[in-house]
A and B are shown apart, each in its own frame.
Chain A
């Protein structure tokens, strides 16, 4: 920890030296999720998000400050995004080693702040220090766990100099989580479905309880049938899924969702038999993961309606429209909503 702090201080010093008096005058010092003290501009105008979750959060909070995407939006996403940022260039990703982002490209884009939102471990803390030291641009880490979401939104918005905007989104997140908890209080454990998350065209890729990709299933009060702990994806056999006999299958794969009713090896599974296979919407950002960012709030609302159709109150379409309007700045019309939600 000592070493990291010292490194961070060295980084700060190098920024002060490199960036000169302009930055030193109107800066502030923040402590990031990695415990690093970072000197940042008060109102950053050009911000680079180091990974997809951060890019999504940055887009929802201060799209005008974005200088590029980690991964360019797909054509299908464009209609759902603010046109002025939708066609920003793809710059690549920072990972420590094997970056797809060239630091020169980054510097040529002239950022005054780099933010990352997601897992905070020694690699990312170290990476932040290295890039900050090497490129002379302040680099701040924000904790990306689900439980911290409202707090992280506020932190990020303070950092970006848009506290009011952050407050609106954080309040929305808090309300959503509180509504969900109120709903869950009404649903006894026995009535909570057992869920299998299906990925890939064959549906045999899945994620266990500890995985960031399946985190939302636990948060929405359901039980993931895949009990393994661990970060990664796993491939299982349909026979194993038969043994698990999930009540609901949530999938992010359009092909699988379309085909599963005809796939012989999936017949007899309660979820398939009862027509409870749900395809998670994915534009402009996924409902379940991809990226694991604030977009998952929409996933929470959607899942609460799909998993607890009796207990859930309110109009799903209206709620999703409100979320898109508030977070993504585009309110979808009824036809678009129907296409998005697939019903």
Chain B
């Protein structure tokens, strides 16, 4: 099966200046790939490159086997959805309004979302367990609820793959767990998800594969068990890290 998203020999950066080179990655259906690395390692730049918001310096990116450079904005949106770190609008949209926006990739230029799109949007909210928030203004929701709304929008975009930039960064423990569960459920239902995180515990809990990026480049990539070793993480963050496996089989890092 063609991977949803592949990058080969990718070098990323701004204005021709290379930030990281030699990135190879591949995202399959139903898997969660987690990007780990310190601040400034270039995780957000990598995501923006994958989304086609900035061009790669070298290398190739393909969505569903087709080169990103040959896809239109709409075609990209139909294959790869984006969940930003936080809502960046000063306006008090309702959750449903936000989720409806996901339909843009499938609607004609002059169309407005109608009954079909509204039903899909409600379904997306429902899948994330926040259907009752449809009419609520997002400015009044908690951080976790807002994140779920953004994920619902990505879901309504009906793209097979999603990019999530630190979806749990600013969330408290309960919200983080709620969003984490939602992400895992989406992947289990077939969506390929690539996300970044600051929290190795959390990453280990929801990801299948991990990609370790630090300021000098790609450190390791592979399954969570083989990449997220104490040694790799110590090198990644520049501090000593211990790894333990709990009775439930989950990895924990200290």
Whether the complex brings A and B within 8 Å at their CB atoms is answered no
